[in-house]
Homo-oligomer: A and B are copies of this chain.
Amino acid sequence: MGRRLFKELERSYGFDEVAIVPGQVTINPELTSTKMTIGDQEFDIPIMASAMDGAVSPGFASYMHEMGGLGVLNAEGLYSRYDDPYSVLEEIISYPLEGVTEFLQKVYSEPIREDLIGQRVREIKNSGATCAVSFTPQNTKRMSPVAVEAGADIVVVQSTVTTARHMSNSYRGLVFSELIDALKVPVVVGNCVTYEVATELMESGIDGILVGVGPGAACTTREVVGVGVPQVTATLQCAAAREDYFKRTGRYVTVITDGGFRTGGDVCKAIVSGADAVMLGTPFAQAEEAPGRGFNWGMANPHPELPRGTRISVGTKGTLKQILYGPTSKTDGTQNFVGALKVAMGMCGAYTIRDLHKAEMVVAPAIKTEGKFFQLSR
């Protein structure tokens, strides 16, 4: 061995493999601020809910706003395909596990209706909430103006992998700079995982990038097609791109780590990795207010020929308020994400999210291998 390899492989890391190192100064958590911005929009907490039909309905987007965060509505989901999406949700939830993938494939073959996109945006705006809607690249140019006209504040363009240059015979490539000129609202694009793609996307003028390919709980892309980069390494790369782009241009683009989160600790690690915000699906699908009522499924799931993921039972863990702010009696980190973030900021002496970017992190063995012996007998 040792002679010649076709290519070199570098090590990458996920949340379970790292730990944050406490700082040299500590501060009381109540002194910390968790504010975050996307373009001209400011939010009290750097936490977003994913555009998954089981997690974010128009109503849930309003609840997220009340809590200080942002819920993104999937503009190509059930809410834009059915006058009464709630009865379809009911059917999905009660469908037997055996056969549910086929049923999802069928339900999502109903066409998207532009009138319904407008209607859902207005429902969110009428509640007083900031409205963010997500589209796939192939539908963005045609459908996103409808949403913005109805009042949408942020447009998210999202597919499994997004680059500034996509080749297709079936639709003319989306040019992000043209989109930004046309829409005049902040545009967030994703998902990407490398320094180069993040840089190219930022150079197109967008306001935020979504980071993450393959890591989500309701997604099996990495198993099915082998493609993906663990979230810590993906975020470390895209954050490096943001820093370099900021030094070069003075424009600060929001880096949002999307998917793969299980605990508040994971949220803290994403931010120490350089994220400005995080986007979670399953933890919000576990809220009592979530439309999926304890079930969740990904956007790639209903793919007619190569489904990646299926309907998963995630259970209901508490109210949205408890999940975000506690108080909680759960001790496994799956509730009080904001409390956990503020405690971590305190431990690292970080007054702001960007201060927390300066904390150190180490590669550490997965938590199960150390000192947890006795809990087995719990």
- Answer whether residue A135 sits at the interface, using C-beta atoms and an 8 A cutoff: no
Which of the candidate stretches A1-9, A57-65, A69-77, A114-122 sits at the interface with the other chain? A1-9
| A261 surroundings in chain B (CB, below 8 A) | 371
Q: Quick one: which of B18, B330, B331, B370 contacts A15, CB cutoff 8 A?
A: B370
Q: Quick one: which of B97, B231, B326, B362 contacts A305, CB cutoff 8 A?
A: B326
Q: Jot down 22 A-B pairs with beta carbons below 8 A, ordered by A.
A: A1-B360, A2-B10, A3-B196, A3-B237, A6-B274, A9-B13, A10-B363, A22-B192, A23-B163, A26-B166, A27-B168, A30-B169, A160-B347, A163-B349, A217-B374, A224-B263, A224-B343, A226-B263, A227-B265, A228-B364, A230-B364, A314-B374
CB-nearest residue of chain B to A358: B7
CB-nearest residue of chain B to A219: B371
A369 touches B371 (CB 8 A): no
A240-276 residues with Cβ-Cβ distance < 8 A to B are 240-241, 243-244, 259-269, 272-274
- Rounded to whole angstroms, the CA-CA distance of A222 and B305 in the bound complex is 36
| A218 surroundings in chain B (CB, below 8 A) | 374
- Rounded to whole angstroms, the CA-CA distance of A314 and B373 in the bound complex is 9
- Assign chain A's interface to a size class: 35 or more
- Rounded to whole angstroms, the CA-CA distance of A226 and B272 in the bound complex is 10
- Answer whether residue A327 sits at the interface, using C-beta atoms and an 8 A cutoff: yes
- Answer whether residue A94 sits at the interface, using C-beta atoms and an 8 A cutoff: no
Given that A162-B26, A236-B5, A377-B312 are contacting pairs, would A371 and B226 also be in contact in the complex, using a CB cutoff of 8 Å? no
Q: A173-203: contact bitstring with B at CB < 8 Å (1 yes, 0 no)?
A: 0000000000000000000111111001000
CB-nearest residue of chain B to A266: B226
Q: Quick one: which of B4, B161, B213 contacts A195, CB cutoff 8 A?
A: B4
| A200 surroundings in chain B (CB, below 8 A) | 24
Q: A3-44: contact bitstring with B at CB < 8 Å (1 yes, 0 no)?
A: 111111111111111111111111110110000000000000
- Answer whether residue A348 sits at the interface, using C-beta atoms and an 8 A cutoff: yes
- Answer whether residue A336 sits at the interface, using C-beta atoms and an 8 A cutoff: yes
CB-nearest residue of chain B to A194: B21
A24 touches B163 (CB 8 A): yes
Give, as a whole number of angstroms, the nearest-CB distance from A190 to chain B. Answer: 11
CB-nearest residue of chain B to A30: B169
- Which positions in A face B, CB cutoff 8 Å? 1-28, 30-31, 97, 99, 101-102, 105, 160-163, 165-170, 192-197, 200, 213-218, 220, 222-233, 235-237, 239-241, 243-244, 259-269, 272-274, 282, 296, 301, 304-310, 312-315, 326-333, 336, 339-341, 343-344, 347-349, 357, 360-367, 369-375, 377-378
- Rounded to whole angstroms, the CA-CA distance of A297 and B229 in the bound complex is 35
- Rounded to whole angstroms, the CA-CA distance of A265 and B221 in the bound complex is 8
Q: Please tell me how many copies of the chain the complex holds.
A: 4
| A259 surroundings in chain B (CB, below 8 A) | 371
| A244 surroundings in chain B (CB, below 8 A) | 4
- Rounded to whole angstroms, the CA-CA distance of A13 and B17 in the bound complex is 11
- Rounded to whole angstroms, the CA-CA distance of A228 and B362 in the bound complex is 9
CB-nearest residue of chain B to A159: B26
B31 touches A373 (CB 8 A): no
A369 touches B195 (CB 8 A): no
- Rounded to whole angstroms, the CA-CA distance of A14 and B28 in the bound complex is 28
A371 touches B217 (CB 8 A): yes
A227 touches B19 (CB 8 A): yes
Q: Looking at A23, A233, A310, A370, which has the most chain B CB atoms within 10 Å of its CB?
A: A370
| A162 surroundings in chain B (CB, below 8 A) | 26
Give, as a whole number of angstroms, the nearest-CB distance from A141 to chain B. Answer: 16
| A192 surroundings in chain B (CB, below 8 A) | 22
- Rounded to whole angstroms, the CA-CA distance of A261 and B223 in the bound complex is 12
